[in-house]
Amino acid sequence: MTSKQLTLSWVVVVAALLLTACNPIPAEPPLPVSVSTPGPACAALEEMAREALASTPPPPARARFDADDRKAFAGSAFGYLCELSEEVGPRESATQEEMKAAAFLMDRFTEFGYSPEIQDFGGSKTAKEFAGPPSRNIILELPGRGEGVVILGAHYDTTPDSVGANDNASGTGVLLALADRLARPPWSNQMVSVFPFTLRLIAFGSEEIGLRGSWHYVEQLTDAELDDIRVMINLDSVGSGTILSAVGNPWLIRHVSESAEREGVFLTTSRRGTSGGFSDNFYFGYAWVPTISFAGDDISRINSPDDAIEFINPVLLGDAAVLILDLLASLEDLQCRCR
């Protein structure tokens, strides 16, 4: 991290759609469970997930997202999770396995209507580069109606010999589900969103070997580009357990806590003003970007061959999607004291 980045002035978050009692979240049309036709293994697993979701208690009457919203997000995210873990398989950092996963993500994001870009890194010994094997980030944008950038990210690589269902096909699955939904009405029209900021979605490579993808991304930013980033939202291992957790900036934590209570989502929180945990949000927080990172409460199997889809709780995927969408839609209304 450069010294100039560490001494950046605090940025006031000015982002997102007005969302108050006078401006409710737009009505949602029915969501597809998946944009693509799953293979036989995933088709059977998705049917099991739908059965599990059918028994989920309905959200409170005051919730902004109804049961169908939650189930649709959960089913969509689970479908992408299944494709990554069962059909793409292990995605060891900085290997051909990871490159195969990157190609899968490029295809999916393109199907949604985006123009994803590849940010390659690695294989260099320059001051701003890791001297490790090559890897890549996948970056796409949904322009909004104002200035500033909000980043939503998740890493897609795994440790060796792990399909990484929870770590981190779960986070990537939610990222894909949100990317799909936000590219369509009522959230966007002709790939321009209703938000008063640009939403930048990033699938980070090589997180498992030292946060290399997010380090490279932050290190390559100019001071002006870094100043434009209002918030970074991270998804890592959100799929196992019974309760979501969120760690990060106190202002963001306060909002998602209120949102979780309203939506009937079980959530534990921890307030940290800078890095907020050791995942891809870390270097953003170190550069004084307000961050929040979501995870599930069971990480006992991550980074091992036991991190399998049978231990995924699809309810958590829908819960994470709802909390993030509510946060994106509410940023402009909140009084930020992020920095």
pLDDT score of 112: 97
Q: How far is CA 48 from CA 78, 86, 237, 261, 336, in A?
A: 11, 15, 21, 28, 42
Nearest to 92 by CA among 171, 175, 208: 208
Name the least confident of 196-205, 273-282, 322-331.
Answer: 273-282
- Residue 339 in domain: no
Flag whether 82 is in a domain: yes
Residue 9 pLDDT class (50, 70, 90 cuts): very low
| Residue 96 forms part of a structural domain | yes
pLDDT value of position 26: 55
Reading across the β-sheet that carries 229-235, which strands appear in turn?
Answer: 117-121, 135-142, 198-204, 149-155, 229-235, 291-296, 244-248, 267-271
Q: Which helix (H) or strand (E) holds 119?
A: strand 117-121
CB 135 within 8 A of CB 213: yes
- For 273-324, the pLDDT digits (tens) are 544 568 999 999 999 999 999 999 999 999 999 999 999 999 999 999 999 9
Q: Are 286 and 274 in contact (CB under 8 A)?
A: yes
d(CA 322, CA 69): 8
Flag whether pLDDT at 63 surpasses 90: yes
Beta-strand runs (E) in 176-285: 188-189, 192-193, 198-204, 229-235, 244-248, 267-271
**Average pLDDT score over the chain:** 86
102 has pLDDT over 60: yes
Quote the pLDDT of residue 16: 32
Cβ atoms 282, 275 nearer than 8 A? yes
Question: Residue 181: inside a domain, yes or no?
Answer: yes
pLDDT at 325 over 60: yes
Q: pTM for the complete prediction?
A: 0.87
80 within a domain of the structure (yes/no): yes
Query: In the structure encoding, which two tokens stand for residue 187, read together?
Result: 């959230």
Q: Answer whether residue 25 is part of any domain.
A: no
Tell me: pLDDT of 2 over 50: no
What is the structure's pLDDT at 43?
83
Confidence of residue 187 (pLDDT cuts 50, 70, 90): very high
- End-to-end C-alpha distance for the chain, whole angstroms: 18
In this structure, is residue 27 part of a structural domain?
no
Question: Could you tell me if residue 281 is inside a domain?
Answer: yes
pLDDT-derived band of residue 234, with 50, 70 and 90 as boundaries? very high
Range of the domain at 325: 3-19+32-333
- What CATH number is given to the structural domain containing 176? 3.40.630.10
The pLDDT value recorded for residue 248 is 93
Q: How many domains does the chain have?
A: 1
Cα radius of gyration (the chain): 18
